[in-house]
Amino acid sequence: MKTNYYITTSIPYLNGQPHLGHALEFLMADVLARSARQNGHPTIFSTGTDEHGAKVAQAAAKHKMTPQAYCDHMSLEFKHLLKLLDISADRFIRTTDANHEKRAGLIWKALSKDIYKGKYAGWYDVKQEEFIPVGKADPARMKPDHPQAYQRLEEKNYFFKLSKYTDQIKQAITSNAFQIYPTTRRNEILSLLEEGLEDISISRPKDQLEWGITVPGDSTQVMYVWLEALINYITVLNYPEGDDFRHFWPANVQVVGKDILRFHGAIWPAMLLALDLPLPKTLYVHGFITVEGETMSKSLGNGIHPKEIINKYGLDPFRYYFLRHIPSYDDGDFSWQTFDDAYNNELANELGNAVQRTVVMIQKYQDGVIGDIPPASHDNAAIAKAIEVCKFDRALDEIWQQVRGLNQYIDEEKPWEIAGSGDKTHLQEVLSYQVSCLIEIADLLVPFLPDTAAKIKAIFSGETVKPMATTLFPKLEVAKD
Ligand code: MSP
């Protein structure tokens, strides 16, 4: 029996439409989940939506809706995106689910030895739902006319003894019991820990913010949105008594973006330590996507809904671009031009062509009969390793080496000349080797481009090649407006 595998994404706020950044994160986690399943690991892949807090309450008010009705509506938008992207998630948690709320109360109580009453006087960033640690506030945002001005808070709330866990977290990271990829992000957290963590506020007075889960035993306070959002990773497994929790925690990989590193690299591990639970094995931190070189923002109105791209090019090209051309360990850019180039050069001319040529030659020279296919012949350890360390771009680079290698093989062997010479045995060897390479490539593509992988396998699954209804990546006339 293979070991269990648990993978999570962060759970997006519902204050706006899903965008390319969310899509990127879902896709990366999807590759890990599909790869784990392909390797025979019983897998749980969880995602969901983060529904409480000031930011969502404000968005609901702007739409003149109750927070609950607004969340019911917006949560569906994220579910639709998961479907559109063919994300293989097995769980979708909403932080307004009764099960989550109930377990959040249990967890609050379990943390109570590390909770005390205090007074917070400082800045609050609604955009990030963050109490700004002393000395970290951006002076520009202290001015009320700044578009993303902080709120000034002076309120009584509950605190969590975060400071107490600084050394234990540092130790877990430096010993690699808790791995953080990439190293730049690991170093970022280590330097934060070096400065020492301060205790943090973990509730808000209800007269300041109503939209949240009531603190057990104090009906005047709601839990801080991050506190109850982070625990989604275990409430979804029915912590504490659930079988899933017992069998699947700690998570193998938690996928998050670079802006929420502090929450996942410091606050969440401290909460787990306070609960006496093991830390996740790996935290993978992806970068940010820009669009045509610009930060995505509501004011610029340049956020692209993933469906705009998918409607024009199809899903697998979308998956391909975001997994290969957005650097897995860095920020990246989407532009229509680079997308179009990748589609034409790499998908249509390289992969599509290798399949097309092979099918056509088998039809032309062998009446479609494939013959015996030799076993896969490449060493794919580097690809497995790249996936293990969440270098999706590198894994696809390696797979494309094989695609290019195959096209080169065809160019050099010139099966059409062999056919001309009448050497049927040699021709059969060459063509079935091409098929073997394509099946191997399809297997490698399963986690990345599941539909394309299935199509390639289907073409070569019988005695004779199945004619392709359409070429895999047809040439498109794409309007670029
Ligand atoms: N609700 C919190 C997460 C709570 S997890 C317990 C949150 N939500 S979010 O909607 O703002 O962001 C969700 C994910 O999308 C985060 O990992 C974030 O880094 C990612 N991205 C948001 N904008 C992004 C880009 N422009 N590019 C890539 N990812 C980005 O944070």
pLDDT of residue 4: 98
Q: Looking at the structure, do residues 73 and 198 belong to the same domain, yes or no? A: yes
pLDDT of residue 1: 85
What is the DSSP annotation of 169-199?
HHHHHHTTSSEEESHHHHHHHHHHHHH-PPP
Q: Looking at the structure, do residues 157 and 227 belong to the same domain, yes or no? A: yes
**Are residues 160 and 227 in contact, defined by beta-carbon separation less than 8 angstroms?**
yes
Q: Is residue 297 part of a domain?
A: no
Q: What angle do CA 337, 338, 343 make, to 5 degrees?
A: 100
Q: Looking at the structure, do residues 257 and 391 belong to the same domain, yes or no? A: no
Distance in Å, CA 257 to ligand 1 centroid: 6
**Ligand 1 pocket, residue 12 CB under 6 Å:** yes
**Ligand 1 pocket, residue 50 CB under 6 Å:** yes
Q: Looking at the structure, do residues 227 and 365 belong to the same domain, yes or no? A: no
Q: What is the pLDDT of residues 262-294, one digit of tens each?
A: 999 999 999 999 999 999 999 999 999 999 999
Q: Is residue 308 part of a domain?
A: no
**Ligand 1 pocket, residue 256 CB under 6 Å:** yes
Q: Looking at the structure, do residues 149 and 215 belong to the same domain, yes or no? A: yes
pLDDT of residue 76: 98
Q: How confident is the model at residue 296 (pLDDT cuts 50, 70, 90)?
A: confident
**Ligand 1 pocket, residue 15 CB under 6 Å:** no
Q: Looking at the structure, do residues 356 and 254 belong to the same domain, yes or no? A: no
Residue with tokens 């170093």: 187
Q: Is residue 170 part of a domain?
A: yes
Q: Looking at the structure, do residues 280 and 362 belong to the same domain, yes or no? A: no
Q: Looking at the structure, do residues 123 and 260 belong to the same domain, yes or no? A: yes
Distance in Å, CA 64 to ligand 1 centroid: 25
Please state the rounded mean pLDDT for residues 20-44.
98
Q: What is the pLDDT of residues 199-230, one digit of tens each?
A: 999 999 999 999 999 999 999 999 999 999 99
Which residues does 88 contact at the CB level (< 8 Å), separation at least 6? 30, 33, 34, 37, 45
Mutate to test the pocket of ligand 1, among 259, 296, 322, 323 (most ligand atoms within 8 A of CB): 259
Picking from 263, 287, 311, the residue at the C-terminal end of a domain is 287
**Ligand 1 pocket, residue 304 CB under 6 Å:** no
Provide the number of structural domains found in the chain: 2
Distance in Å, CA 400 to ligand 1 centroid: 30
**Ligand 1 pocket, residue 25 CB under 6 Å:** yes
Q: What is the pLDDT of residues 305-359, one digit of tens each?
A: 999 999 999 999 999 999 999 999 999 999 999 999 999 999 999 999 999 999 9
Q: Looking at the structure, do residues 421 and 281 belong to the same domain, yes or no? A: no
Best CA proximity match to 12, nearest among 82, 104, 107:
82
| Domain region containing 261 | 5-287
Q: Looking at the structure, do residues 267 and 343 belong to the same domain, yes or no? A: no
120/209 Cα distance (integer angstroms): 15
Its pTM stands at 0.97
Strand 200-201 to 151-160 pairing: antiparallel
Q: What is the pLDDT of residues 82-101, one digit of tens each?
A: 999 999 999 999 999 999 99
Distance in Å, CA 260 to ligand 1 centroid: 7
Of all residues in the chain, the percent with pLDDT exceeding 70 is: 98
Q: Is residue 16 part of a domain?
A: yes
Q: Looking at the structure, do residues 263 and 385 belong to the same domain, yes or no? A: no
pLDDT of residue 14: 96
**Ligand 1 pocket, residue 77 CB under 6 Å:** no
**Are residues 336 and 291 in contact, defined by beta-carbon separation less than 8 angstroms?**
no
What is the DSSP annotation of 330-377?
S-EEE-HHHHHHIIIIIIIIIIIHHHHHHHHHHHHHHTTB--PPPPP-
Distance in Å, CA 22 to ligand 1 centroid: 6
Q: Is residue 42 part of a domain?
A: yes
CATH number at 49 reads: 3.40.50.620
Phi and psi at 193, nearest 5°, equal -70, -35
3-state helix, strand, coil in the chain (%, to 5): 50, 15, 35
Helix (H, G, I), strand (E, B) or coil at 209: coil
Q: Is residue 125 part of a domain?
A: yes
Q: Looking at the structure, do residues 249 and 388 belong to the same domain, yes or no? A: no
Q: Is residue 302 part of a domain?
A: no
Q: What is the pLDDT of residues 10-28, one digit of tens each?
A: 999 999 999 999 999 999 9
Strand 130-131 to 218-223 pairing: unpaired
**Ligand 1 pocket, residue 21 CB under 6 Å:** yes
Q: Is residue 310 part of a domain?
A: no
282/312 Cα distance (integer angstroms): 36
Tokens (6 digits) for 100 = 């989550």
Reply yes or no on whether the pLDDT at 301 is more than 90.
no
Q: What is the pLDDT of residues 174-190, one digit of tens each?
A: 999 999 999 999 999 99
